[in-house]
Amino acid sequence: MTRIHPSAVIEEGAKIGADCVIGPFCLIGSDVVLGDRVELKSHVVVTGDTEIGEETVVFSFAVLGEIPQDLKFKGERCKTVIGKRNRIREHVTVNAGTEGGGGVTRIGDDGLFMAGCHIAHDAQVGDRVIVVNSAAVAGHCVLEDDVIIGGLSGIHQWVRIGHGAIVGAVTMVTNDVIPYGLVQAPRGELDGLNLVGLKRRGVQRSDITALRAAFQMLAQGEGTFQERARRLGAESDSEYVQEIVEFITGESDRSFLTPGG
């Protein structure tokens, strides 16, 4: 049974799923769709053309689906799509997409977005992503599955963060980060692999060994970074190494963080 506090404002046209909980002083816009068992704690604003998947919990003073902080935005109709079972903590902001960026800001399933973090227009965020307190993800960024962004960090627009990578706290990331990479230092240096994350996910020792060898080749091998990556692709059978190769050789609007810089 859906429970809606009498002080909540739900505009005509909004679609509220089964067994939702809408707390005091929430505002839900006319084009919002809430999946089953979504909970909005209190003072939550969900506006624009916004979908929130089932069992997501949104804490007080979060604002989801508001127009982008982009001077090129001219009022075009764009979307915000948030998946299932996310935990969106206090004062989080997620902005809608823009026409020039594909029109959709998208967050996957099972994420944790801690207090005060920001997901900007047209960002594409995967599953099981953690963005820690007061971190900011700029427009058009891609965060693949299982990424962790440390507190007070900033991700520059158009940057891609590969699957399973981790960015340490108080770090500015201005270039793409390879899958399973470990980035830290104030100006974002690729400092190794996210070995803790790999072990927690039960990755085989042989694959971790292959990833370590691959990182060494990327750091110290001959030729350009792209040339080293292509050689890795030809020499390694590890699916994890191949994932890094495909990421490096794929299309991007940014250069890559390389080991030591």
223 catalytically annotated: no
Catalytic residue among 139, 162, 181, 188: 139
Catalytic residue among 70, 109, 122, 146: 122
Residue 60 carries which DSSP code? T
121 catalytically annotated: yes
Tokens of 29: 């816009």
Comparing C-alpha atoms, which of 260, 113, 114 is closest to residue 187?
A: 260
Q: Residues 233, 235, 237, 238: is their CA dihedral positive or negative?
A: negative
Q: CA 15, CA 220: separation in Å to the nearest integer?
A: 55
∠ Cα 98 94 142 (to 5°):
70
Helix (H, G, I), strand (E, B) or coil at 170: coil
Residue 165 carries which DSSP code? -
Check if the beta carbon of residue 94 is closer than 8 Å to that of residue 111.
Answer: no
Catalytic residue among 29, 48, 101, 121: 121
Residue 177 carries which DSSP code? B
Check if the beta carbon of residue 175 is closer than 8 Å to that of residue 157.
Answer: no
163 catalytically annotated: no
Active site residues: 121-122, 139
